[in-house]
Amino acid sequence: MRAFHLTLSLLLAAPGALAWPSMIAHGYTSCAACHVDPSGGGQLSAYGRGMDDLLVRWHLDPKEVESGEPSSTAGFLFGLVPTPEWLNPGGNLRGGPMVVVGNNVAAVPLVMATDVEATVDLSPVVAHLSLGFGLKGMGPAVVVAANPESGELALVSRAHWLGLKLLDDSLVLRAGRIPVPFGLRNVEHTAAVRELSRTDLNVDQQHGVAVAFANELLRAELMALFGNYQIRPDAVRERGYSGFVELFVLERLGVGASSLLTWAGRDVVTGVPTLRQVHGAFARYAPIEQLALLVEADALVDTGFDAAGASTTAVGGAGWLQGEWSIIPGVKLLPALEASLHGDGKVAGWVSAAWYPLPHTELRADLIYRQLFPAAGGSVGTFIGLGQLHLFL
């Protein structure tokens, strides 16, 4: 059953975009410089759009980069729609084909995201809202749906929050539905470190209150988790805390630690009261500007309680190692290795490539081989091929 759920999650979700922990290779340690979220991921700020145009996009003419000025197409809707400084609208459109080869062969067309978003910055007050449509598998992010598990089109909100910027924007207080601060903000949200920790950017945001701080030497965020109020009943909502701190010991080296602890009256996986803990470490290092290395290792401790109050503790772990090599500006190769042991065991290898041929455009291909080792014994190998077109408006 666990193997089936994993395959299903692959069919219904795919790597996102707009979260680049590897930007440390360009000297960017603070994610807040380019993202609306102070811990990175999601919508780009106006400055982030400019840096995306200069540092990430493919340029036929190198002089476009040497000028140091972003293209006029870097703005919202390719610069065709002027917006006031206080309003930052945007959107994400992602889709593509996927082929899964295991015991059977399945070819699946995917609509991964159809979100629109907006941030209103009336400093020191800032507000963010995203809305979109999702299909089956978007349950934790669903706002309105007759039956979220039926596969019907549903209104989805991945994030919505109200914030306050202080200390020249280095301190940000937020309340609402917020990405859980933990580990790397890598876009491969089906990786074990994101899936098992339940901290991916696709649907695992939580409602709560968070405080984030960043300067040249460190960045950190701590969030009080009140539960995801877009799921029911109340018993399945996880409450507790999650946070991380990252120190920049060298110009292009960041080393961090994360911690998460939650309690749910009925865990969504096991169905019993569960105290869930995830504690780990991560690092980002760029030996040269063209190469970034990302690593994360997490320990997972789940303690479940039966009706008599007796407890059972399951201990596991998950790890991720990825390289991001800019072959030429605008073309990236992203090999990765992962392993996990959490009930079932898993090892996997990723070979991914991304091309940013035009403003606001990403073409990405992922080849993934996963070998599962179910706790009941045996092993199951699965090959996944995924292509996607991503437009971030």
pLDDT in tens, 225-278: 999 999 999 999 999 999 999 999 988 999 999 999 999 999 999 999 999 999
Q: Decide: 93 and 390 in contact? Cβ < 8 Å.
A: yes
Tens digits of residue pLDDT in 308-346: 889 999 999 999 999 999 999 899 999 999 999 998 999
pLDDT tens digit sequence for 255-266:
999 999 999 999
Higher pLDDT, 138 or 237: 237
Domain residue limits at 238? 2-392
Residue 349 has pLDDT above 60, yes or no: yes
pLDDT at 213 > cutoff 90: yes
What pLDDT is recorded for position 67? 75
* Cα–Cα distance for residue pair 166/186, rounded to 1 Å: 27
- Listed as own residue / partner, the contacts of 75-82 with beta carbons closer than 8 Å and 24 or more positions apart are 75/46, 75/49, 76/49, 76/393, 77/393, 78/359, 78/360
Tell me what percent of the residues of the chain surpass a pLDDT of 70: 93
Average confidence (pLDDT) over 360-372: 96
Q: Does residue 181 have a pLDDT over 50?
A: yes
> Domain count of the chain?
1
Summarize the confidence of residues 373-391 as an average pLDDT. Answer: 93
pLDDT of residue 150: 59
Categorize the per-residue pLDDT at 13 as very low, low, confident or very high, splitting at 50, 70 and 90: very low
Strand stretches in the chain, DSSP E: 87-101, 105-122, 125-134, 142-144, 154-156, 160-166, 171-178, 206-214, 218-227, 239-250, 253-264, 274-288, 291-305, 311-328, 331-342, 344-355, 361-373, 380-392
Give the pLDDT of residue 16: 45
Half-sphere exposure of 242 (CA within 13 A, CB side): 28
In angstroms, what CA-CA distances link 329 with 30, 35, 54, 67?
A: 22, 21, 9, 15
Chain centroid to CA 281 = 17
Question: Is pTM beyond 0.85 here?
Answer: yes
Which whole number is the average pLDDT over 50-74? 83
Structure tokens at 329: 């500006």
Domain containing 75 — which CATH number? 2.40.160.10
Distance CA 129, CA 120 (A): 9
Average pLDDT, the chain: 89
Render 297-327 in DSSP notation, one character per residue.
EEEEEEEEE-TTS-EEEEEEEEEEEEEEEEE
Tell me the pLDDT tens digit for each residue of 290-308: 999 999 999 999 999 998 8
pLDDT of residue 9: 42
* pLDDT at res. 14: 44
Place of tokens 């503790």: 313
| Whole-Å CA distances, 255 to 58, 244, 280 | 30, 11, 11
pLDDT at residue 197, as a whole number: 97
How far from the centroid of its chain's Cα atoms is residue 131's Cα? 17
136 pLDDT exceeds 70?
no
Which pLDDT belongs to residue 162? 98
What pLDDT, on a 0 to 100 scale, did the predictor assign at position 173?
98
State residue 146's pLDDT score.
55
